Structure 1
């Protein structure tokens, strides 16, 4: 079963700045410090771009996990998509959208995530836990981006 959710975050950044920061590997690692997430292969620092990939290693649920994702679509500064190439999910797709706020003073960043858990029928049980867990991770990352956009 495909699990889908969406997170919307208002940032005190232009859509272009929000787009750039969302592609910043170092900023991503800083936002995920609690899970000890590190870029270990591919683009491991600076900005990731179209067609490039990164392998992340992190600890989730007390288990070390690795996931390689690639930027599969890129429409600067409006949208980009990253998708799992190798990793713990049967599939994982993350659409990042950026648009100006109604008053033009910031950006609305929308994250659309869809994934299929591993483990076949047992994966349905995992999805009940993974959906809220992933939403929390993305909300924490977005709060980190929002904090960095106010100064």
Structure 2
């Protein structure tokens, strides 16, 4: 098992950062290098409590498919997505948001566990933790870029937030 914790400070309103973090469209933009697509469940707009999305993406030399569900939701301060099926034995992503001196602090905490016992643990420590951290850092960078500029208006419409 591995735990990844990241903290970003975003110069934008709390609600905007929260909504961008659960936007399917922005997720797709932030995962452009893996060609991630939402193929089932919520495939556009903002995902919410109890909803699922199935992603298809090219990760680690292979086309993969995995489903995530929003299992906890306390807007605009927190939500959790958990992998329901996919390659990991466990993948839980907690998203925390709070105001700090007029800015939004965004914290990501991911708990991941690979299958395959000891071999999976070794692969996680040597490679997967760094790989997932890189993906999360890119995601945080994109959220910050959209939230701090007028780009957010292309994602958050009257229809979805």
Show structure 2 runs of 5+ residues with no match: 150-161
Aligned equivalents of 1:38 and 1:120: distance in 2?
Answer: 30
Correspondence 1:65-84 to 2 at 5 A: 65-84=64-83
**Corresponding residue for 2:93?**
94
Q: CA deviation at 1:125?
A: 2.1
SS at match of 2:79: strand
Question: Does the residue aligned with 1:51 lie in a helix, a strand or coil?
Answer: coil
Equivalent-residue separation in structure 2 for 1:8 and 1:117 (angstroms): 24
Is residue 2:111 matched to residue 1:114?
yes
Contact 2:20–2:147 (CA under 8 A) maintained in structure 1: no
SS of 1:18 mapped into structure 2: helix
Per-residue CA distance 1:45-68 (angstroms, 9 max, x = gap): 111111000001111121111110
Distance 2:14 2:66 in 1: 27
TM-score by structure 2 length?
Answer: 0.89
Over the aligned positions, Cα root-mean-square deviation in angstroms equals 0.8
Distance 1:125 1:56 in 2: 26
Report Cα offsets for 1:4-47 as digits up to 9, x if no partner. Answer: 11000111211111111111000100110110011010001111
Count the aligned residue pairs.
148
Unaligned runs of 5+ in 1: none
Instruction: Give the Cα–Cα distance (whole angstroms) in 2 for the partners of residues 68 and 20 of structure 1.
Output: 20
